[in-house]
Amino acid sequence: MTQLPLDGLRVVEFTHMVMGPTCGMVLADLGAEVIKVEPPAGDNTRRLLGSGAGFYPQFNRNKKSLVLDLQSPDGKEAVLRLIATADVVSENFKPGTMKKLGLDHESLKKLNPRLIHVSHKGFLPGPYDHRTALDEVVQMMGGLAYMTGRPGDPLRAGSSVNDIMGGLFGAIGVMAALSAREKTGEGCAVQSALFENNVFLVAQHMMQFAVTGQPAAPMPDRISSWGIYDVFQVADGEQIFLAVVSDTQWAIFCDAFGYHDLKADARLLGNNQRVRAREWLIPLLRERLALQKAAEVAAVFERHGLPFAPIARPHELLDDPHLQATGGLAPITLPDGARAGQTAQTVLLPLALDGERLGVRHSPPRLGEHSHDLLTSLGYTTEQAAQLSRTVLKAD
C-alpha cells in the first residue's frame, strides 16, 4: 500500500499502561504520526516487571517520543505549540488531571477548534466516575470475572481485554469524529471507558437473561449450545479442544471415528438432543478418545473440516506457522530494559487492507528519541530543545 489511510494525521498522546497506548497504536499503524509526550523520568510502563513487561513494547510501536515537563511553564508552552499543529489529542489520566494542566477539551478547542480530544477513563461520566478503575476491577464488577471463573470462583480473563478493547473503541470514536469533522469543520470530545467496555463484552449474557428469564451460568458451568464443545484429554496427557456444532458435522464426526452406534442412536439425532445427553455422552467420548494422540485426532478433524484447536501457550505462537506465513508477526527493536537493542517479534493488527498487513514503520521509541527534531520543527533552537527535553531517568 503506497499510502496508509491516516497518513498526514498528527496525534499527540499523553498515555501510559495499555488502554490509551492501544488507541494510539491503532492510529499509528493506520499511518498517523503519533507523538507520545513523556515526563523526564519516562512512561513508568517502560519499567514494569512480570505480566506488565510487554505493555510498552507491544502498544507503542510506530510512535515518536517527546520528553517535556508539563509542570514547568516552558514545557507547557511547548506542548501547546505542538497541540496547535495536531488533529487529535489522546489521554488516559485520572479525571480532572488534564483540566488542572489546562489541556482539557474545553481549553484546547479554543486553541484549535478542529481538534479531536479522546479520553480513556475507568467510567463514563456518572456515579462511578470518581473511582479508580483497572481492568481487573471492571471485570469483577462488570460480570466478566463471574462468567469466566467456575461457580464461586470469579476469575479475570487471561489478557487485558478491557484495556485493549477500550483503546480500540477510542480509535473507532476518533475515526468517527474525523469523518464528522469533514462535514462540520469542527472537532469533538470522544470518550471511551473500561467499565462500559466490559458491560458490552457481557451484553450477550444480559440479553440471554432478557430472552430466557434465566441468569447466565459461568462458562465452565453453562448449558452449552452445542452437543460437543469441550476440551478433551487424550494420550500422553495432551489436551485438545473439539467441537461438533451441527447435525451434518455430527454425522461426519461419527463416520470419521467409526462411531456408528452413536450415529444410529435415536437419542443423539439432533443437536438439542445431544445437548440434553451431554451428561453421559461427553464422558463416553472422553473414554473413547483417551487412547489417541492429539496430533492424530487433530488430523482427522482437519481432514474432515471439523472445528478443533490445540491448547497453546502465548509464547508458542511466536513459532506459529500460520502467523509466520501470513505476516502476523513483525520484528521490532526493544527500547528498554536488560534486552534493550535486541530484536523481538510483535503482533500486528488483525486485519489486512488490499491484502497487505499494517506493518512496523518504527520500533517503540527510546525515551526522548524524537525530542530534538520535534521541538526544532516547532521553532526552538537546538539549545532550547535540549533544555526542554532533558531526560534524567530515575533509577527504578
> Catalytic amino acids?
163
Whether 35 contacts 64, CB under 8 Å:
yes
Phi, psi of 206 (to 5 degrees): -65, -40
- Alpha carbon of residue 359 to chain centroid: 17
C-alpha separations of 270 from 261, 265, 282 in Å: 15, 10, 15
Q: How far is CA 63 from CA 13, 22, 141, 249, in A?
A: 10, 11, 34, 47
What's the rounded Cα separation, in Å, for the pair 17 and 132? Answer: 14
**Angle, CA of 16, 18 and 19, to the nearest 5°:** 95
Work out the burial of residue 15: count CB atoms within 10 Å of its CB; fewer than 13 is exposed, 13-18 middle, 19 or more buried. buried
Instruction: Return d(Cα 7, Cα 87) in angstroms, integer.
Output: 12
